[in-house]
Chain A
Amino acid sequence: MQKFIVRRLLSVIPVLFVVSVVIFTLLKMVPGSPAATLLGDLATADDIAKLEEKMGLNRPLVEQYFIWIGNMFHGDFGISTAGGEPVASVVFSHVKPTISLALYALIIASVIAIPMGMLAAKNKGTGIDHGVTVLSLAGISLPSFLFGLFLMLIFAVKLHFFPVSGYVEISRGLWPHIKSLTLPAVALGFMNAALMMRMTRSAMLEVLGSDYIRMAKAKGVRNFVITTKHALRNSLVTIITMIGQSAVQMLAGAAVIESLFAIPGLGQLMVNSIGRRDYYVIQAIVLLIALFNVLINMLVDLLYGVADPRVRAT
């Protein structure tokens, strides 16, 4: 197990290296000098040259890359061109709503999708199964922002059950907080729920068709015990993967949903930063989410080892 963990940890390094190179390259492709953007329209060529010198922008690209990486290890992600604040603090102040939203969406998706996927697998070929299949297809084909718009139109504009947009902080009460996040969370969770349903169904079907389940049935084990203890445990690897991937997808999908519902999280910050050409903020958010993605994938792989002893051996 230890060897497995160490190997998995080491495999993260090349991925993060490539991610950083990709983001660095993208930043370098931005037209115009960041120094000029920071100083604004009134800056003279002399001022720009001085700041470029100070920021190390006139050094070779490889050197710039290492300075950039080194700064980030010290928590220095640059200065936001919009407000002049350090990027790290700007980004940090937008983290909370996104975490709330993603967590809520993840809970909605898992609570709906996993039992429904199991139910469909257990009743394969029946009306329940077809219903779940149709529902999951609908979820996959309906982009989350579109679903969000439909939800907004029906439940906020026409029925007034929920606020159309806006965000209420948790400090102002749990219920208003949940209410302000319900439509966005459902919109964000639906597509992932669809994928989860599909995969839980197929993973369960595979397990239910195996010899040891037939054996358990022959022994007279109750159906409930077979489903929850034998089948679920063995489809756990697939389910863990799905939840991990969904968590990442939700952070990414939050960009669109937060803009739609005016939630001041990372996604909205990123989209607003595009309009403001605030590239350092964009870079920091992408890097943060990529890092989160890599860590989640690693955690998922490690959990495999816990859920399924066969994985540890390979």
Chain B
Amino acid sequence: MLGTNGSEGAMTYTAAQNDLSLQKKKLAQEQFEIRLKKFTHNRASVFGLAVVTLVIVLAVFAPLIALHDPLAMNTADRLKGISAEHWFGTDNMGRDVFARVLYGARISLTVGFTVGLVSGFLGLVIGLYASTNKLADNILMRVCDGLKAIPSTLLAITMMAVLGADIKNVIISLIVVNIPNMARLARSQALVVKEQTYIEAMRCLGSSQKRILWAHIVPNILSPMIVQMTFVFASAIITEAALSFLGAGVPAPAPSWGNILKEGKDVIYTAWWMILFPGVFTALTVLGLNLLGDGVRDLMDPKSN
């Protein structure tokens, strides 16, 4: 900044600048409020937010809400329908399905959130690096093309077959599966931002490559990345459930939604509740995340104003 060396001219200049930055802040605040209003007026996004919040609350407070231990077997109470004691009935080992579904939300949300966040971050780093170095770009993007050529579910199944069924491995495989898309997105966005005049100006002013990347390019490509991360969050929940359903995901006694559905399939003639409740929870959570993602996209995209 130009100095505050005490001379009158500089003072007025600083004052004017302060005023300008204040105005800018106010404008940004107003714009944010407009977008927030738009978000709250969009019933679909509010519904999405409500569903996701509800599932998070249920998952966090599961020990307080559920009356039973999700792993406690009770052979006398096998395959009992809905009752005041067991809101969602009991499963083939007499475990409380309501408790299992709530604790299952913990697993699904943990997997989805971790996969979204980590694959987003790694994709960002890879995409940024690719956007600055031609050779690295060529190599990294060919690797991404190759990984994308294998359909994501199949790649995840194959990785699980090799690594072994375990929640840690589910997270690792889903991160690997989702990185290519994230990296491609970050790269393409970074390439567009890189050509902007203000980045050129920063370069002329002698800013370091690192500073340009992290202080100027990253904030400008963050919103599409965050939107994409919510969709990865949703798709990771689906894939985790599918993997567990196939017996290649979270190992058996753990109450993952996919596991409950897998056990429910074996008793489909007698215990519809073992399919309906975890199924509805899975579908609603994914729907909520998708709606929320759409809402966040509208919120963050200045063009949609």
Residue ranges of A at the interface with B (Cβ–Cβ < 8 Å): 14-19, 21-23, 26-27, 29-30, 137-138, 140-143, 145-146, 149-150, 152-153, 157, 164, 248-249, 251-253, 255-256, 259-260, 270-271, 273-275, 277, 279, 282-283, 285-286, 289-290, 293-294
Residues of A near B103 (CB, < 8 A) are: none
Residues of A near B162 (CB, < 8 A) are: 26-27, 29-30, 279
A141–B246 CB distance below 8 A: no
By secondary structure, the A interface counts as helix
Please report the C-alpha to C-alpha distance between residue A276 and residue B153 in the assembled complex, in whole angstroms: 19
Please tell me if B150 contacts chain A, counting CB pairs below 8 Å: yes
Residues of B near A273 (CB, < 8 A) are: 161
Please report the C-alpha to C-alpha distance between residue A253 and residue B292 in the assembled complex, in whole angstroms: 25
Residues of B near A251 (CB, < 8 A) are: 151
Of listed A249, A251, A274, A289, residue having the most chain B CB within 10 A: A274
| Contact for A255 among B146, B157, B264, B282, CB less than 8 A | B157
B153–A253 CB distance below 8 A: yes
B158–A138 CB distance below 8 A: no
B142–A14 CB distance below 8 A: yes
A150–B151 CB distance below 8 A: no
| Contact for A153 among B157, B163, B272, CB less than 8 A | B272
Residues of A near B287 (CB, < 8 A) are: 137-138, 141
Please tell me if B94 contacts chain A, counting CB pairs below 8 Å: no
9-residue interface stretch from B64-72, B204-212, B237-245:
B237-245
A289–B150 CB distance below 8 A: yes
A15–B146 CB distance below 8 A: yes
A200 to chain B, nearest CB (A): 18
Q: Mark B262-300, 1 if CB is under 8 A from A, else 0.
A: 001100110010011001001110110011000000000
A145 to chain B, nearest CB (A): 6
A260–B265 CB distance below 8 A: yes
| Contact for B275 among A150, A256, A282, A283, CB less than 8 A | A150
* Known A19-B149, A22-B147, A294-B149: A252·B261 in contact at CB below 8 Å: no
A259 to chain B, nearest CB (A): 6
Complex: chain B residue closest to A291, CB-CB: B149
Please report the C-alpha to C-alpha distance between residue A93 and residue B149 in the assembled complex, in whole angstroms: 24
| Contact for B146 among A18, A143, A249, CB less than 8 A | A18
B154 to chain A, nearest CB (A): 5
Residues of A near B161 (CB, < 8 A) are: 273-274, 277, 279, 282
Residues of B near A21 (CB, < 8 A) are: 146
The 9 closest A-B pairs by CB, nearest first: A18-B146, A252-B151, A141-B287, A274-B161, A143-B238, A141-B286, A290-B150, A290-B149, A14-B142
A141–B290 CB distance below 8 A: yes
Residues of B near A27 (CB, < 8 A) are: 162
B159 to chain A, nearest CB (A): 7
B153–A256 CB distance below 8 A: yes
Please tell me if B34 contacts chain A, counting CB pairs below 8 Å: no
Please report the C-alpha to C-alpha distance between residue A19 and residue B157 in the assembled complex, in whole angstroms: 15
Complex: chain A residue closest to B234, CB-CB: A141
Complex: chain B residue closest to A158, CB-CB: B272
Residues of A near B62 (CB, < 8 A) are: none
Residues of B near A22 (CB, < 8 A) are: 146-147, 150
Complex: chain B residue closest to A154, CB-CB: B272
Please tell me if B248 contacts chain A, counting CB pairs below 8 Å: yes
Complex: chain A residue closest to B294, CB-CB: A137
| Extra inter-chain contacts (13) besides given A142-B283, A285-B154, CB under 8 Å | A15-B149, A16-B146, A19-B146, A19-B150, A23-B150, A143-B286, A145-B241, A146-B279, A150-B276, A256-B246, A270-B154, A274-B160, A286-B154
Please tell me if B145 contacts chain A, counting CB pairs below 8 Å: yes
Please report the C-alpha to C-alpha distance between residue A255 and residue B245 in the assembled complex, in whole angstroms: 11
Please report the C-alpha to C-alpha distance between residue A23 and residue B157 in the assembled complex, in whole angstroms: 12
Please tell me if B224 contacts chain A, counting CB pairs below 8 Å: no
B279–A293 CB distance below 8 A: no
| Contact for A17 among B146, B159, B248, CB less than 8 A | B146
Please report the C-alpha to C-alpha distance between residue A220 and residue B105 in the assembled complex, in whole angstroms: 57
* Known A26-B159, A30-B162, A149-B265: A143·B282 in contact at CB below 8 Å: yes
A18–B147 CB distance below 8 A: yes
B90 to chain A, nearest CB (A): 18
B222 to chain A, nearest CB (A): 24
The residues in B between 215 and 245 inclusive whose CB is less than 8 angstroms from any CB of A are: 234, 238, 241-242, 245
Please report the C-alpha to C-alpha distance between residue A294 and residue B241 in the assembled complex, in whole angstroms: 27
| Contact for A286 among B150, B238, B279, B291, CB less than 8 A | B150
Please tell me if B247 contacts chain A, counting CB pairs below 8 Å: yes
Please tell me if B136 contacts chain A, counting CB pairs below 8 Å: no
Please tell me if B143 contacts chain A, counting CB pairs below 8 Å: yes
Residues of A near B248 (CB, < 8 A) are: 271, 274
Q: Mark B128-166, 1 if CB is under 8 A from A, else 0.
A: 000000000000001101110111111101111111000
| Contact for B154 among A142, A252, A279, CB less than 8 A | A252
